[in-house]
Amino acid sequence: MAPAGRRMSPPLLLLLLCAGTLRATGAAEAVSPERSLVWGPGLRADIAVPVRYFYIQAVSEDGRNLTASPGNKSFKVSIKSLSTKEFVRIHVPDPLDRNDGSFLMRYRMYGSAGEGLVIEVRHHDQHVAHSPYILKGPVYHEYCDCPEEDPDIWQQTYSCPSSEEQISKDFAPFPSIDLKRMLEEVPKRFAESRGAIVHYTILNNQIYRRSLGKYTDFKMFSDEMLQSLARKVRLPDFEFYINVGDWPVEHRKANDTPGPLPMISWCGSSDSRDIILPTYDVTHSTLEALRGVTNDLLSIQGHTGPTWDNKTEQAFFRGRDSREERLQLVQMSKKEPELLDAGITGYFFFREMEKKLGKAPLIGFFDFFKYKYQVNLDGTVAAYRFPYLMMGDSLVLKQDSPYYEHFYTNLKPGKHYVPIKRHLGDLLDKIKWAKENDEEVRRIAKEGQALARELLQPHRLYCYYYKVFQMYAERQINRPEIRDKMEQVPPPDDNTAMCDCHRKKVDKKDEL
C-alpha cells in the first residue's frame, strides 16, 4: 500500500530483491532520505487495526536498497494529531530494525483523531520520502465502533485477496449449510464428548453466544476477534459453532452418510474436515500487540538475533514434552551436541522421563534466533510457534505433520523451509546438509521469512476471518436465530470505546 503519488514495491518484492539481486551494503553506508521508501497500511486513515504499522526501506545515495542495517537509530518517527486543539494519546515506539535495510514502524492509538494525524519520518532531521504524511480524519482507534457498511469497499480498502486456497478447500465439502441439522447434531456429537464448543449467532452486527461444555474458557479469544472485526466492517447475519479446543473434531468424509458438519476450528488435520481460522495464539498476539503480549508477529521482526554469519551453527529446540518425538530430539541432542541443542522445559505427558533427560531452563523466545537452524516439532497438534519461527532470520526445519494452520498451503517445502520426516530419521543429515550449503540455506530462510511477513500481516488476518464468515453465511440455507440460553457478548464498557462515528449505520431490526 504505497502512499499516493508514488508507486513503490510491495514488502515481499523488496525483501526478495534484498536477498537476491541487490548487493550487500555495510552498516556505515550513507542513507538517502529522499530516495528511501515508506509504505504500508499505517499510512492509511481508513485501515483500522489494533496496532497500525508501516515500513521504511533505507536506500543509498545511488538508489540501491540497503541490505544490512544502517544503524538502529537511522530513522525517527513522530505521530501526532493534525489539529493542535485535539489531544490523542498514541504509543509510538522506535522503529524496529529488521537488520536487512528495512524497518517496521508500529503505533497504537488510545483515542480517535477526528481531524486526522500527521506522521513525520526523518533521517538526521531530514524528511524521508514523502514525509510528512497527512492522514485526514477521522482516524479511529481500535475500540471505536464504526463499521464500514459495504463489505466490498472494506475488503478493497484492506487489499484483501480475492480468494484463499485454504478457505476454498475447507468449504468444498459444504455446498450448503443446514442450521437445523447443526442444531440437532452438534450438541450430541461434539459438546457432550469434547466439551469445548461455542455456539455463535451474529445478527445486525451484534454477537450472541452460548457455551456447550465445560472447557470453553478460550472463547475469550473468539469473542474478542469477533468484536474487533464487527467494529470495522458489518458482518453478515450467520450462525456457527466453533471448537475452542486443540484438536479438530469433524472426521467424517465428504461422501459419508450422514456427511460431515461444518465445524470451525483453529487447527486442521489431514483426516478431519474442520473449517480453519487463524489460531487463537496468532489472533491474540495481533489484538494485544504493544499492550498485553511480549511476543507478537510484529515485534519479533526486530528481534531476529545476530546477523546470519554470526549465528551459532546448530539446530535449536526448546519446548514442553507434548509429543514423543520431542523426547527423541533431546536424546539425539545428547549424542550429537555439535549439531543439535534441544531441551525439554516442562514435563507433563512423560514425567517419568525428566530424570533421564533432564529439564532445560527457560529461554526467551527472541534468543532462539541466536541459532541458524530452528527445529519445529508438533505439540499436541501443530506447533503454534511455527509462524513466529518463520518470521525470524533462521532456517526452519519442519517436521512432516498431518496438522496445519490457515496459511500452510502457501508454503512450499524446500523453498520456504526444509522438511524433515515425522520420525526424525533424516534430521541430523539435514542439519549436516545445511552446514555444507550455507548460501542455499540462507536463501531458503530469507524466502520463508519474506512470505511469512507478507501472509501474516495483521490486516491480512482480518481479511481471512471475514472471508471465512462471508462464505459460511452465503452457504446457510436457514435463517440464523438467537437461540435459547444465548447471551449477547457485551462491547467494552469503559471510555476507550467512545468515539464519534462518521458513518450512518444501517439498522436491520425491521428485517429480523
Task: Give the pLDDT band (50/70/90) at residue 507.
Answer: low
- Position 497 scores a pLDDT of 65
Question: Residue with C-alpha cell 441439522?
Answer: 181
Are both 325 and 449 inside the same structural domain?
yes
- Position 194 scores a pLDDT of 73
**Can you tell me the distance from the alpha carbon of 325 to that of 377, in angstroms, rounded to the nearest whole number?**
8
Q: Does residue 154 lie in a domain region?
A: no
Dihedral of CA atoms 74, 290, 303, 417 in degrees, nearest 10, equals -120
DSSP state of 66: P
Q: Does residue 149 lie in a domain region?
A: no
Radius of gyration (C-alpha) of the chain in whole angstroms: 24
End-of-domain residue from the set 455, 471, 495: 455
Q: Does residue 1 lie in a domain region?
A: no
Residue whose C-alpha is closest to residue 34's, from 8, 58, 9, 12: 58
Whether 509 shows a pLDDT value over 60: the answer reads no
Are both 281 and 409 inside the same structural domain?
no
The per-residue pLDDT for range 320-333, each reduced to its tens digit, is 999 999 999 999 99
Q: Does residue 239 lie in a domain region?
A: yes
Averaged pLDDT for residues 279-294:
92
Q: How many helices, marked H, and strands, marked E, lie in the chain?
A: 13, 22
* Structural domain for 365, as ranges: 299-455
Q: Does residue 291 lie in a domain region?
A: no
Tell me the C-alpha to C-alpha distance, in Å, between residue 262 and each of 55, 249, 381.
38, 10, 20
DSSP state of 235: P
**Which range, of 155-159, 213-217, 307-311, 413-417, averages the lowest pLDDT?**
213-217
Averaged pLDDT for residues 256-284:
96
**Can you tell me the distance from the alpha carbon of 383 to that of 107, in angstroms, rounded to the nearest whole number?**
29
Which set of grid coordinates corresponds to residue 434?
Answer: 545445511
Task: Give the pLDDT band (50/70/90) at residue 19.
Answer: very low
The CATH number linked to 313 is 3.40.50.2000
Count of domains forming the chain: 3
Averaged pLDDT for residues 404-411:
98
Judged by DSSP in three states, 136 sits in strand
Averaged pLDDT for residues 344-355:
96
pTM (two decimals):
0.92
Are both 261 and 335 inside the same structural domain?
no
Question: Residue with C-alpha cell 514434552?
Answer: 321
* Buried residues in 157-167 as b, exposed as e (16+ CB within 10 A): bbebeeebebb
Are both 342 and 275 inside the same structural domain?
no
Enumerate the H helices of 272-323 as residue ranges.
Answer: 280-287
**Can you tell me the distance from the alpha carbon of 408 to that of 444, in angstroms, rounded to the nearest whole number?**
16
Angle made by CA atoms 110, 111, 116, in degrees to the nearest 5? 125
Are both 348 and 373 inside the same structural domain?
yes
* Helix, strand, coil fractions of the chain, as percent rounded to 5: 30, 20, 50
Q: Does residue 30 lie in a domain region?
A: yes
Residue type, 240: F
Half-sphere exposure of 358 (CA within 13 A, CB side): 11
Whether 20 shows a pLDDT value over 60: the answer reads no
- Position 502 scores a pLDDT of 86
Angle separating helix axes 280-287 and 458-475, nearest 10 degrees: 130
User: Where on the phi/psi map is residue 424: left (φ > 0), alpha (ψ -120 to 50), or beta?
Assistant: left
DSSP state of 31: P
Are both 304 and 451 inside the same structural domain?
yes
Are both 391 and 487 inside the same structural domain?
no
DSSP state of 113: B
End-of-domain residue from the set 422, 439, 455: 455
- Position 226 scores a pLDDT of 98
Averaged pLDDT for residues 416-439:
98
Task: Give the pLDDT band (50/70/90) at residue 491.
Answer: confident
- Position 511 scores a pLDDT of 43
Are both 451 and 468 inside the same structural domain?
no
On whether the CB atoms of residues 25 and 66 are closer than 8 A, the answer is yes
On whether the CB atoms of residues 500 and 146 are closer than 8 A, the answer is no
